[in-house]
Chains A and B, each alone.
Chain A
């Protein structure tokens, strides 16, 4: 049986065993779809304002209602999926690459590598993370790139800590000694022997951080440090609807907020499912 065959069989087993995982995978696909083709299939142009139809409650015409500028909220929520999703994925890939490598090197080689990586990590962690992100974006400027950079920086210590702990535990393990005896050099051991073993745990981290990344971007946008209007983004939309809550127009803030929640929730559930998929000890 080839490797890919058995992966598929195992995937089916994992999904069947835990229906919540299946639901999470399904939701994830839905979100990904919205991100990919959402902007093309929405009923209204997310940026088009219609002053005759401002502040309409949800109705058949406008499923999620309209905002202060008469824009259709449903279209905007769907269109915003792409931006938040892209921000989440880019920052996570970036921090996983940097933090993961830095972490396992620090945990495996110890010595100066550990000290330097540790110092960088501690310096970042000395700040309340969201505050640091605020500082970085305020200093660098309100662009999507800077949000991604800021998110990657503030998540760096977390990846480093997890990767370092995992590599450190395995550093003196029997199979690592055995790999040395088999003629593997230190770098080979790190990449071919240790890294595959920590992937399951890193997978969980990745999913969780996707959720944090979206919350972070939304939070920054909420206080005006993120994406700029009129770009549709969930955080900004909640900010735009915040003032209207007091006057009772709940739909402007609720729907983007609910979309946010759903996305983050999906990524959290996904983490556990991914770990089961990747970890060979779960295979029977």
Chain B
């Protein structure tokens, strides 16, 4: 196949060029909606020099992704660039015809997205997908393209690249998929890489590996990078300059050191303050001027502080096993000798022991697949254990089957706040109905009193009363989270398990909700089991912390001690993987 001749615009690749590689001036992007044109991005100006790494930071709705989509011109059908210019190496991308734009995409500028597995064609081999890009941009002849594809896989440090070439995306892990996506993006050696939240949803150690790889490859090739993220810490740790966006506007642009030490705009300061980091307290996360204790948190002495008394929850040698799936296993059963037990079952939780005292807040951390969620489900009595002991206030609740637990009085004393506020609210229930549910089933109070009690709870969690009759889709993320919290404390439980309760929230909303959780704990005298992957958040909220890996407890102890002087290697790995902003 002959190389296609390019009549495309000349891209200036001379190394010592002082022009910025990407120069966006006064960009405005509009979307046509049923209610008229909505401006997602307004008068945005930024530039990226050759070899520079720029971060665009913002919360949801800030317009950070839309800006990059506009640069690549892959906006939705309803979107268009209303005004402004996008200059790429001296070429105005707004005026370029679509066929030339296609040449530029992948060859001169490329993009990687969130959810790497979804970003790959599920029914096409990974190697073929890389070849498609190489062939499209005529980088290599069709007989040599296979080798080139394998080379790109080697460059992103995938183990056994020759084998992986023939793999389908579903056969690869999340981290490997992200490497493939990076390989795809860098295959034709573009000058600019745009990374849109590339590590959201990945474990913190995988995140570090991916970010290190991206930075290394781009520095090696003298590429420019734009990193889009909501995590200010991540941005400052890996990038030279940071641009902060809010509601479609740029509020501040500065070097990453300056952003952290001397943020000038009020919004940046709010974001900075709200980012959980070592050396601050919970109160410090809140915007300046809002750090006073809310009046609603009436200070009652913490109940049941039995000095040195029995712990509230004791878990001993808790195990949860699942039978392994797979056709091979069943054929084995019919035809072969009995397979060894390890092949038969998978231990999600492998004999762990810990305890929680009255009024204490314990963090349970680990990466995905470590068994922390399974553990919390068992403590909640939503699933049954395979073996071990679960003692709650002196009673063995582990023996009670999960199915029966719902109607027992014990149910009232252990409650949960869920991770995804949208998923945990019944779409057909109004907020007040959702909060009232536990009261109606187990509360033992009359129907008339239920409404009053719901209003009390709403006030306690800071939910405006006029929102009580709204449906979940009419509430914001933070408001939904408050509804979930109100529901959890409705029955005045002794132990509340919080399963990543703020993971789905914007960082400024997270700061408020974390403080709310702390205040409630103090005023109601509850104990918390706080399950999270975010060590910085755990540091702020928890007295003690337990670190889990592949179903076992690797380390546990007072938070300060574990975080400052970790004894297990795994804990050290976790701590060092957290992005460290320049301080």
Residues of A within 8 A of B (CB): 173-175, 177-186, 193, 196-197, 280-281, 283
User: Once the chains bind, are A181 and B407 in contact (CB under 8 Å)?
Assistant: no
User: Quick one: CB contact mask for B418-434 with A, threshold 8 Å, 1 for yes?
Assistant: 11100111111100001
**9 A/B residue pairs, CB under 8 Å, sorted by A:** A175-B434, A177-B424, A178-B437, A182-B442, A182-B487, A183-B407, A183-B411, A183-B412, A197-B428
User: Once the chains bind, are B382 and A180 in contact (CB under 8 Å)?
Assistant: yes
In-complex Cβ contact of B416 among A181, A186, A280, A283 (8 A): A181
Q: Which of chain B's residues have a CB closer than 8 A to the CB of A283?
A: 471
B318 CB–A CB distance under 8 Å:
no
Chain A: CB-nearest residue to B402: A180
B438 CB–A CB distance under 8 Å:
yes
Q: Which of chain B's residues have a CB closer than 8 A to the CB of A180?
A: 382, 406
Q: Which of chain A's residues have a CB closer than 8 A to the CB of B440?
A: 182
B505 CB–A CB distance under 8 Å:
no
Known A-B contacts A185-B406, A280-B471; the reply to A174 vs B427 at CB < 8 A is no
How near does chain A come to B279, taking the closest CB pair, in angstroms? 34
How near does chain A come to B457, taking the closest CB pair, in angstroms? 13
Q: Which of chain B's residues have a CB closer than 8 A to the CB of A181?
A: 380, 382, 406, 411, 415-416, 438, 488
User: Quick one: CB contact mask for B358-389 with A, threshold 8 Å, 1 for yes?
Assistant: 00000000000000000000001010000000
Q: Which of chain A's residues have a CB closer than 8 A to the CB of B434?
A: 175, 178
Chain A: CB-nearest residue to B34: A17
Q: Which of chain B's residues have a CB closer than 8 A to the CB of A184?
A: 406, 437, 441
B: interface residue count bin: 20 to 34
Q: Which of chain A's residues have a CB closer than 8 A to the CB of B77?
A: none
User: Once the chains bind, are B406 and A183 in contact (CB under 8 Å)?
Assistant: yes
Known A-B contacts A183-B438, A183-B441, A197-B427; the reply to A174 vs B407 at CB < 8 A is no
How many A-B contacts at CB < 8 Å in the complex?
72
User: Once the chains bind, are A178 and B416 in contact (CB under 8 Å)?
Assistant: yes
User: Once the chains bind, are B418 and A177 in contact (CB under 8 Å)?
Assistant: yes
User: Once the chains bind, are B418 and A178 in contact (CB under 8 Å)?
Assistant: yes
User: Once the chains bind, are A174 and B423 in contact (CB under 8 Å)?
Assistant: yes
Q: Which of chain A's residues have a CB closer than 8 A to the CB of B13?
A: none
Q: Which of chain B's residues have a CB closer than 8 A to the CB of A193?
A: 426
Which of the listed residues B380, B416, B427, B473 has the most CB atoms from chain A within 10 Å of its own CB?
B427
Known A-B contacts A173-B423, A174-B418, A183-B407; the reply to A196 vs B437 at CB < 8 A is no
Which of the listed residues A180, A182, A281 has the most CB atoms from chain B within 10 Å of its own CB?
A182
User: Once the chains bind, are A175 and B407 in contact (CB under 8 Å)?
Assistant: no
How near does chain B come to A188, taking the closest CB pair, in angstroms? 8
- CA of A175 to CA of B422 in the docked complex: distance in angstroms? 9
In-complex Cβ contact of A178 among B424, B428, B473 (8 A): B424
- CA of A186 to CA of B402 in the docked complex: distance in angstroms? 11
User: Once the chains bind, are A182 and B427 in contact (CB under 8 Å)?
Assistant: no
In-complex Cβ contact of A182 among B419, B428, B438, B471 (8 A): B438
User: Once the chains bind, are B380 and A186 in contact (CB under 8 Å)?
Assistant: no
Q: A174-B418, A183-B406, A183-B438 are in contact. List 19 more A-B contacts (CB 8 A).
A: A173-B424, A174-B420, A174-B423, A175-B434, A177-B418, A178-B434, A178-B484, A179-B437, A180-B382, A181-B416, A181-B488, A183-B441, A184-B441, A185-B406, A197-B426, A197-B427, A280-B427, A280-B471, A281-B427
In-complex Cβ contact of A177 among B416, B437, B473 (8 A): B416
B403 CB–A CB distance under 8 Å:
yes
How near does chain A come to B323, taking the closest CB pair, in angstroms? 15
- CA of A184 to CA of B487 in the docked complex: distance in angstroms? 14
State which residues 98-140 of B face A: CB under 8 Å.
none
Q: Which of chain A's residues have a CB closer than 8 A to the CB of B427?
A: 175, 197, 280-281
User: Once the chains bind, are B428 and A280 in contact (CB under 8 Å)?
Assistant: yes
Q: Which of chain A's residues have a CB closer than 8 A to the CB of B418?
A: 174, 177-178
- CA of A235 to CA of B396 in the docked complex: distance in angstroms? 68
- CA of A175 to CA of B421 in the docked complex: distance in angstroms? 9
Q: Which of chain A's residues have a CB closer than 8 A to the CB of B424?
A: 173-175, 177-178
Chain A: CB-nearest residue to B380: A181
How near does chain A come to B397, taking the closest CB pair, in angstroms? 14
- CA of A283 to CA of B418 in the docked complex: distance in angstroms? 26
Q: Which of chain B's residues have a CB closer than 8 A to the CB of A173?
A: 423-424
Q: Which of chain B's residues have a CB closer than 8 A to the CB of A280?
A: 427-428, 471, 473
State which residues 316-354 of B face A: CB under 8 Å.
none
Q: Which of chain A's residues have a CB closer than 8 A to the CB of B423?
A: 173-175
Chain B: CB-nearest residue to A182: B438
Q: Which of chain A's residues have a CB closer than 8 A to the CB of B415?
A: 181
- CA of A281 to CA of B412 in the docked complex: distance in angstroms? 31
- CA of A281 to CA of B472 in the docked complex: distance in angstroms? 9
Chain B: CB-nearest residue to A174: B424
- CA of A182 to CA of B416 in the docked complex: distance in angstroms? 10
- CA of A184 to CA of B403 in the docked complex: distance in angstroms? 10
- CA of A196 to CA of B427 in the docked complex: distance in angstroms? 10
User: Once the chains bind, are A196 and B382 in contact (CB under 8 Å)?
Assistant: no
Q: Which of chain A's residues have a CB closer than 8 A to the CB of B380?
A: 181
- CA of A175 to CA of B438 in the docked complex: distance in angstroms? 12
How near does chain A come to B71, taking the closest CB pair, in angstroms? 34
Chain A: CB-nearest residue to B471: A280
- CA of A177 to CA of B407 in the docked complex: distance in angstroms? 14
Q: Which of chain B's residues have a CB closer than 8 A to the CB of A183?
A: 406-407, 411-412, 438, 441-442
How near does chain B come to A271, taking the closest CB pair, in angstroms? 20
User: Once the chains bind, are A175 and B403 in contact (CB under 8 Å)?
Assistant: no
In-complex Cβ contact of B487 among A178, A185, A186 (8 A): A178
State which residues 501-537 of B face A: CB under 8 Å.
none
How near does chain A come to B549, taking the closest CB pair, in angstroms? 25
- CA of A177 to CA of B438 in the docked complex: distance in angstroms? 12
Q: Which of chain A's residues have a CB closer than 8 A to the CB of B438?
A: 181-183
Chain B: CB-nearest residue to A282: B473
- CA of A173 to CA of B418 in the docked complex: distance in angstroms? 10
User: Once the chains bind, are A185 and B407 in contact (CB under 8 Å)?
Assistant: yes
- CA of A196 to CA of B429 in the docked complex: distance in angstroms? 10
How near does chain A come to B292, taking the closest CB pair, in angstroms? 32
State which residues 417-467 of B face A: CB under 8 Å.
418-420, 423-429, 434, 437-438, 440-442
User: Quick one: CB contact mask for B57-71 with A, threshold 8 Å, 1 for yes?
Assistant: 000000000000000
User: Once the chains bind, are B471 and A175 in contact (CB under 8 Å)?
Assistant: no
